[in-house]
Homo-oligomer: A and B are copies of this chain.
């Protein structure tokens, strides 16, 4: 990667304070923020540019002109409150907060790094008003804030940005109806109507239909305008000041990727053959250079046209500690200890095996909630379009649809991220299971890594969330072969519902896990007589193996067991485990509560089982940072185990 350059604060200040027509200033600032967001994402190795750019003119208008926060600051009780419900557009907001001096330079340059800026909004960052990133909560939260302001007699409006795809999430409609019932005139919702979801058109995934009519029928005052035109935004917000009896919705027509020609919808969609490439992930060097040059040129032209000095960029010092692996794609992942990443993804094996199984099991159908690419089910969709059901961003609906399908003779495999599926659709999963049918839940992106997106996306509770559900089996494979075997078992053999936890990133190393499903039985990957460490999944088994290798250097023999069955054990296997090792350790890619360790303690009454898990809130950062922070990297584990063994 070439040396990166940034628009420094001084240059942003120069434009902010220049005597310019307001629209020119806002347009310039938006592009300068786009450029800085691009640099931050490139440096982070991941992030969401498409919607950062589509929302950038709205954010620019709000933060640099409309809201009182530039004047009052972000701690004043009478301040206007702005936040984005979708949250993944936060690189653009960070750039605006950097321009305002709210986020300092050194922190701005630490996007998705430990102690830096979270991959999704977190109120630990100055200027961030609400945690978001899991979709659909924003209108409700904004309603709460507006209600509190009214109750406490405080000044300030509340403006919530929501994605158009996000409107598929049912909670949004709960929030809309509630705010209308409360006649909360202090609440404004801006819909970033960019017409694209994660990588395909909203119209294809789950059409919004007559959006303005829907919002009006829900009791809101509705306006719409060009979301890239400061004058139009200004007029809309001005008109809202006359609305005193209801909340206001502004449908801001925007262009995803706005500001960089080849990232702009619809051209970018055509170029991608119907798939939008710039939703998430950092651009490669070539695309970055093109995007940077285009933004830089336009800023330069604007400055020249306005008779201002040319743009002075500032070189960005390289990271003191670059992440071990720079991944171009999203979600990011990687290894601890700077080890080379293998070319194996368990989730790739999952996607392939699902297509293969469909030929054998004709009842198999696949459900998705707008994460088909990340969940690797696009191949299934193409191979079996009549057996693929796209539910949009509506996990609860997806699960209950699956329940209906299962009741009437089909075998649904339901896909989403673990953090969303196991939590948001938890009651629906319980309801489905209570009907005695079988549904396979693919819980993608389970565990701590990748740690860049932050706590809205990291799933460290899902085993616990499903643990008390009668008849549910939770498994996590550690290799491509084991993934195929467990999915095969889940689809063809399991009698009840199965939750299949899947790591989403590349495996730090190939794990020599069994290629057959042996219910309740683990597999010894490394022998060792001093103690045994049970782990699961490619990420933490790698750390377990690393720990064992490090301990071997010090004469301690730590056996490592791959235990993909997280809540059930074969009695003979358990007896063997219990007899062979006096000291049993468990490594959780999960909180220490409710995971494999607790299950093992239930199965081995009176045996001491020491658990290493993700304590507290999961850290945001590179894989190495997050693992080290939680002392779950191989080196830390070796130390902890050595200490425990005395």
Interface positions of A (Cβ within 8 A of B): 77, 81, 122-123, 129-132, 134, 136-138, 140-149, 151-152, 154, 168-175, 177-178, 180-181, 206-210, 213-214, 216-219, 365, 386-387, 389, 391-392, 394, 396-410, 419-420, 423-424, 426-428, 430-431, 434-436, 455-456, 460-461, 464-465, 467-471, 567, 590-595, 598-599, 601-602, 605-611, 615-617
Contact = CB atoms under 8 A, between A and B. Distances in A.
A347 to B, nearest CB: 22
Nearest to A137: B400
Which of A131, A169, A213, A392 has the most B CB atoms < 10 Å from its CB?
A131
Contacts of A468: 460-461, 464-465, 590-591, 593-595
Given A178-B391, A431-B456, A598-B602, A405 B170 contact: no
Contact of A209 (B152, B207, B219): B219
Contact of A396 (B171, B208, B404, B465): B171
A327 to B, nearest CB: 26
Nearest to A214: B217
Contacts of A399: 140
B140 A407 contact: no
Nearest to A367: B144
Contacts of A216: 213, 217
A143 B392 CA distance: 14
Contact of A435 (B123, B391, B408): B123
Contact of A170 (B142, B172, B389): B172
A610 B601 CA distance: 11
B410 A148 contact: yes
29 contacts: A81-B408, A123-B407, A131-B434, A132-B431, A140-B397, A140-B399, A140-B400, A140-B403, A144-B400, A144-B404, A144-B405, A145-B404, A148-B404, A149-B408, A151-B387, A154-B408, A177-B208, A178-B392, A426-B465, A434-B456, A464-B464, A464-B467, A468-B593, A470-B591, A471-B616, A593-B598, A598-B598, A606-B606, A606-B607
B592 A602 contact: yes
Contacts of A456: 431, 434
A609 B401 CA distance: 40
A174 B461 contact: no
Contacts of A207: 180-181, 219
A137 to B, nearest CB: 4
Contacts of A214: 214, 217-218
Given A174-B397, A214-B218, A409-B148, A594 B592 contact: no
Contacts of A151: 365, 386-387, 410
A188 to B, nearest CB: 14
A297 to B, nearest CB: 41
Contact of A423 (B138, B142, B407, B427): B427
B175 A144 contact: no
A172 to B, nearest CB: 7
Nearest to A608: B606
A578 to B, nearest CB: 13
A122 B394 CA distance: 25
A91 to B, nearest CB: 20
Contacts of A169: 170, 174
Contacts of A132: 431
A212 to B, nearest CB: 9
A403 B131 CA distance: 10
B608 A605 contact: yes
A409 to B, nearest CB: 6
Nearest to A180: B209
Contact of A173 (B170, B219, B595): B170
